Every structure is written in structure tokens, then in C-alpha cells.
Amino acid sequence: MLDSSREPAEGDRLIQLEGVDVAAGGRILLHDITWCLRAKENWGIFGGNGAGKSTFLRLVRGEIWPVPGRGRRLYAWNGAPQESPVGIRENIGYVSSELHDLYQRQEWDMPCPDAVGTGFFDTPWLYSPLTSQQRQAVKEIFQELGIEDLYNRRIGELSRGEGRKILIARALVARPRLLLLDECCGGVDVHTRRSLLDLIAQIAARGTQILYASHRADEIPPVLTHALYLKQGRIQSQGPRRVDDHCHTPAHSMIPRQPETGHEKSDPPINGEFLIEIHNASVWLDGKKVLHDLCWRMRPDENWLIRGPNGSGKSTLLRLIAGEVWPAHGGAVYRFQSRGLLSREEIGRRTGVVSPVLQATYGYNLTVLGMVLSGLSSSIGLYQEVTEKDQAKAEEWLRILGISHLASRLFRGLSYGEQRKTLLARAMIHDPALLLLDEPCDGLDAESRAEFLRALDRLARERTRIVLVTHHPEDQIPAITHILEIDQGRTAAVIPVPAG
């Protein structure tokens, strides 16, 4: 048990919520929330998808208000208690997947130092030049995070994991008194995750308090002193955190992993049966060479795991397979045992895709059911007539992923994890020959993750082939037959996974 035996004095109360309700879109999102942040406390905010964790953090930060007459929120950092967050938000840093999605959805692009510098103003865009003192602070935070290699890059060209590092730097640059972290490790590799957790420990040791929401036990920093558990917008429990507390990963979520063998050099593609075959493919994005003369073949009876550090080219490889980007002159990509050039529509009819970029940039705010049905034609939007059979299939995938109750809700009104489940159902509905999955479990709670991985493993064994990108070894399903490691856009190793 961590030491929290001293009862803080009244003056130690920094933020207090008293019987607060929060509503949006005619729905109550948080019910009767009573909670207090005292000096020297660091809280973990836990709960399943749609429990209200992100809404709770936004309430604490002052981005949303309690329902009038239904409780009150008090801040006591600047002397006398105040209900308004004016003068408070400047001292609260915030990292969330939604902010990352906003940059991608709006196609905003700027130098990474400017993106970090927006943290001084709590704006997504830099509207005035930084002072020399602010520029120096930006350089220092790049050095502290060990991301100097991103300093001369632009945010629009970064991988998901690299972009997350920039947002964390943005949240820290003004040295906030309180740091809110909502799934801050999503999309980052193992090495970066460890570095971030170490940095969070250092930040807490310097006196910055932490509110931290996560679904994964291996992403929880040990500095947390207290835990708050939410379910359907209500507090289930709260109080001092035991050392062995985590985000309640159920035992049934553990799927046996297959052992790995030693590294082997990849062979060039050979003639014969194939599902995907890539010859000497180089891909340039925004003037930068992301993939270098890549050669790779996937047979029809194989399922692949793609792994490598942030920025290694994993997501670009999936986009190449999906026909979203094309190889430079001299390279070629063949699909579904055809040597001919397939159109994007033909590729889309046989391929299901789930990615953070698709989630961020999907152009229409359909209902959940409409989003899933749009997967029948792999379209952005719903343009075809829906049969009773189509409807039944969509409803079945909603049931499998535990979101049947969301069928009539609008996609953009969902939590991040609920949106990810919707896209998973969308990818599955048209029975694709190939599923391309880029960190598909990001944002899923432990129980949802377990159910999805079981369903995915069944699909991969029965009829659908899988190419999976993940930084989490526990997300490797037993049906995986091969592992491709890439580094700096090149093949580093091919590892066959023995059948077991």
C-alpha cells in the first residue's frame, strides 16, 4: 500500500467536484461526480470504453462545464476558491488522442517546434511568433524527451508514435502544475513507452501532479497514488491506490503466445502463389524516402505481424498494400494473385482497413450502424442500398464487439475506444480476403481487447488473412505465422513462427 495515511488539510484541496453532472447532445455523460484532488496526489482514471474517463479529464481541466444547478466545480490554486477555470487551464497540460486526430482531420501542418510552442497558448495553431525565451524552452523539452531528431521535421509527416511524442512535449513545455494524460502511450513503441513512463516519474518528482487514464497495465506509471474507477459515467470506487492495482485486465484476456525463433534474412520474392507481393518498392512522402527498395511476399495461408520502432515505415507499408500510396519508379506491388494493375475500388472490395488515420479523418459523421454498413463497399460514406442480410451482418459485428447499444449514436460523439470498435466492425462486415490492422487495439479496454483478439484469431484461422501492426506483444494472436521487422524503411528480419 502506498503511503497516503495523512488526511490533508482543507487548504490542500486544489480541485473539488461536488455532485457534478455533465451533459452533451441531450445525454448525461457523468452522473453525481464527487471527487477531490489534493496536493501531492497523482490519480489513475480507469474504466471501460465509454465509461466517461475523457469527459472526466475535460471537466477537471475546465473545457466543459457541469450541468447548471447539478453540482459545482471549485479550483483553489490561486487563493480563494473559484468556479471559473480562467487562470487555471494555463497550469494544466493535456495530451489526448482527440487532439492528435484534430491535426490529421484538419490537415494542419507546421514545424514541430511550432507545434510544441502552441502549448504556451493552449491553442492548436501558433498565431504569433514565439519569444526567444519560449524557443529556448522548446529546445530544452525536445532534449529532455530525447526527440531531437524530430526538431527539424514537420508534424504532418510524422508517424502516429512520433506525433504522440510531439503532443507530450507540447503539454510539458509550459511546465504545468497538473498534467492530464489520456492514453498518452497509444501508438508508441516499447522503448519510447519506457522513456515516457520514466519521464512521467521525473515530472511527478519535480512536483507536477498527474491524472492518468489508460486501459493497459504495462502503460501505468508507478507514481500514481490514487485510483478512480468509472462505469457508465458514475464513480464505482475511489481512494488510495494499492501497488498491485491496475486497470483490471481480466484473466480471460490472456491468449497464449507463440514462441519466436532467431532472426533470418528475408529472401527476395519468388514466382508462385501469393496474396501480396512487393518488388523493390520505395515510397516517398513529403519529400522524404520512407520505404527503401522493400521486397516482401505474403502467401495465401499466412498471417503476418509487422513490428519496428516509431517512424520505421510500418504504417506506410500498410498504406502501400492497401493502394493508398504507390511505389516509386522501378518498384511494383501485386495483389490477390494478379499481376495486373488493380484499381483502388477492386483493392478496397477485398481489403479491410483499421488505422488511427482512418479514425481521425473519416469524412462523414454517420451513425454507428451507418459507419459499419459503409464497409460493405469500403466507401467513406454510405451510398448503396442495404439489404436485410447486410443489416443482420452489421448487427452481428456490433454484438461481437459489444457496441449494439451504440447503433443509433453518431460516430463523432463516441469515446475514442468506441470509435475504434466501430471501425473494426466496419472492416469485418464485407468478409475481406485481407485485413490490414494498424494498432487496432489502441483505445480498447481489456475485456473488449480480449473479445476482439479472440474473434480476430478465429477469422485468421478460417477465411481472412491478417497483416497486423502493433507495439504490444500481448496483441499477437496465435494465428500469426510470420513476423516482419522493419527499421528505417528497410527489412531488418523475417521470423517464421512455429505452429504450436
All cell numbers assigned to 362: 473519416
Mean pLDDT in consecutive groups of 10 residues from the start of the chain, 500 residues: 39 88 91 95 92 94 94 86 89 85 75 94 88 96 90 85 86 93 83 82 88 88 94 94 56 34 37 82 89 93 93 92 90 87 82 84 84 82 79 89 90 85 87 90 84 85 90 91 94 88
Length of the chain: 500
Domain map of the chain by residue range? Answer: 10-248, 276-496
Report how far residue 309's alpha carbon sits from residue 388's, in angstroms, rounded to the nearest whole number.
44
pLDDT at 2: 31
CATH 1.10.3720.10 fits 10-248, yes or no: no
Say if CB 134 and CB 146 are below 8 A apart.
no
**Number of other CB atoms surrounding residue 180 within 10 Å:** 25
* Cell 507495439 sits on residue: 471
What b/e sequence results for 189-221 when a residue is b if at least 16 CB atoms lie within 10 Å of its CB, and e otherwise?
beebbebbbebbeebbeeebbbbbbbbbebbbb
Report how far residue 315's alpha carbon sits from residue 94's, in angstroms, rounded to the nearest whole number.
26
The radius of gyration of the chain's CA atoms, rounded to the nearest angstrom, is: 23
pLDDT at 316: 92
Model-level pTM? 0.73
Report how far residue 279's alpha carbon sits from residue 270's, in angstroms, rounded to the nearest whole number.
10
Per-residue H/E/C for the chain: CCCCCCCCCHHHEEEEEEEEEEEECCEEEEEEEEEEEECCCCEEEECCCCCCHHHHHHHHHCCCCCCCCCCEEEECCCCCCECCCCCCHHHEEEECHHHHHHHHHHCCCCEHHHHHHHHHCCCCCCCCCCCHHHHHHHHHHHHHHCCHHHCCCEHHHCCHHHHHHHHHHHHHCCCCCEEEEECCCCCCCHHHHHHHHHHHHHHHHCCCEEEEECCCHHHCCCCCCEEEEEECCEEEEEEECCCCCCCCCCHHHCCCCCCCCCCECCCCCCCCCCCEEEEEEEEEECCEEEEEEEEEEECCCCCEEEECCCCCCHHHHHHHHCCCCCCCCCCEEEECCECCCCCHHHHHHHEEEECHHHHHHCCCCCEHHHHHHHCCCCCCCCCCCCCHHHHHHHHHHHHHCCCHHHCCCEHHHCCHHHHHHHHHHHHHCCCCCEEEEECCCCCCCHHHHHHHHHHHHHHHHHCCEEEEECCCHHHCCCCCCEEEEEECCEEEEEEECCCC
pLDDT at 376: 83
Q: How far is Cα of residue 365 from the mean position of the Cα atoms in its chain?
A: 20
CATH 3.40.50.300 fits 276-496, yes or no: yes
